[in-house]
Structure 1
């Protein structure tokens, strides 16, 4: 290939990638959509308390007690630190892009049976106990005023961003929970 042809193709490719990147960044920088499912932590806590005080089942995947255990782990780790993190490169690219996309559309879509990296295996069987743990984690997060630990996939998030992340995460899992 002639050098001039290579330079033209390389320049065209770079400009295309830059244009797509700029368009994506512009779309992602738009206003955040309202969180689908739970508008506030108080709303999420009321739902958790209602589910925990009754009968519930999962339509697929983990039992509801383990869903609650998993969501509690995520919230607790935002305060204390995640056991394992993806690389900084991942957090600054795919991780931050995923979070920006979720924020933009107001909902999260993720593998609902993927454990948090390095977290203990899910073992909860008592729905009421798991609901109490999740409710306590939500209350502790809401009351927390200190620094937050970086998310294992998204990296550093401020309190408002973490609130959105937790609400979207719980709402995504809630899609599989049915109250009896």
Structure 2
């Protein structure tokens, strides 16, 4: 009985925190439309530029991480959060991100059980990997695997999750000013 009370309390507490966090999410302009096409356009615009990261992961690690997330939605995530999380806090967080049209999450947090973010090492190749993953995802007509935190998502919901995820990471990526 105590376990159920603790879980209910955690879910209610999570809802309060997420509800308050809704208003703290960024409201700035997204780098492109909140679509796969918009994400591809943003990547094309970055692919030929020298990029730097304001903090945390290198640009190639960021693009490899985003590619992993897209690939895992089709192939299966290596590890999932507990079922109670994927049926309560996770979907609630996604609904807040979806309603706000923006995501905020720790930008240096790896996907549980994911491979290291080292390959491909070049930014151009990592962007190409992400572009290929997005093309594959767009054409994917089979079942999708549950998200490691959000649980079961439809193709449209996953599309939104992938785009918001990428745009959240792009908030730390900058084009290097060649004139300086």
Please classify the TM superposition score into its range, dividing by the shorter chain length.
Answer: 0.7 to 0.9
**Paired residue total:** 152
What TM-score do the two structures reach when normalised by structure 1? 0.79
Output the CA distance in 2 between the equivalents of 1:141 and 1:53: 23
Separation in structure 2 between the aligned mates of residue 104 and residue 43 of structure 1, nearest angstrom? 18
Corresponding residue of 2:3? none
Q: Are residue 178 (structure 1) and residue 177 (structure 2) matched?
A: no
Q: How does 1:1-180 map to 2 (within 5 A)?
A: 36-37=30-31, 38-124=33-119, 125-180=121-176
Contact 1:40-1:167 at 8 Å conserved across structures: yes
Cα contact 2:52–2:173 (8 A) shared by 1: yes
Larger Cα-atom Rg: 1
Name structure 2 gaps, 5 residues minimum.
1-11
Paired residue secondary structure (2:174): strand
- 1:49 Cα shift? 2.2
Q: Which runs of 5+ in 1 are unaligned?
A: 1-16
C-alpha separation between the residues in 2 aligned to 1:67 and 1:80?
20
Write out per-residue CA displacement over residues 17-66 of structure 1, whole angstroms, 9 at most, x where no aligned residue: 7xx99xx7xxx9xxxx9x94442111111211221222111111100000
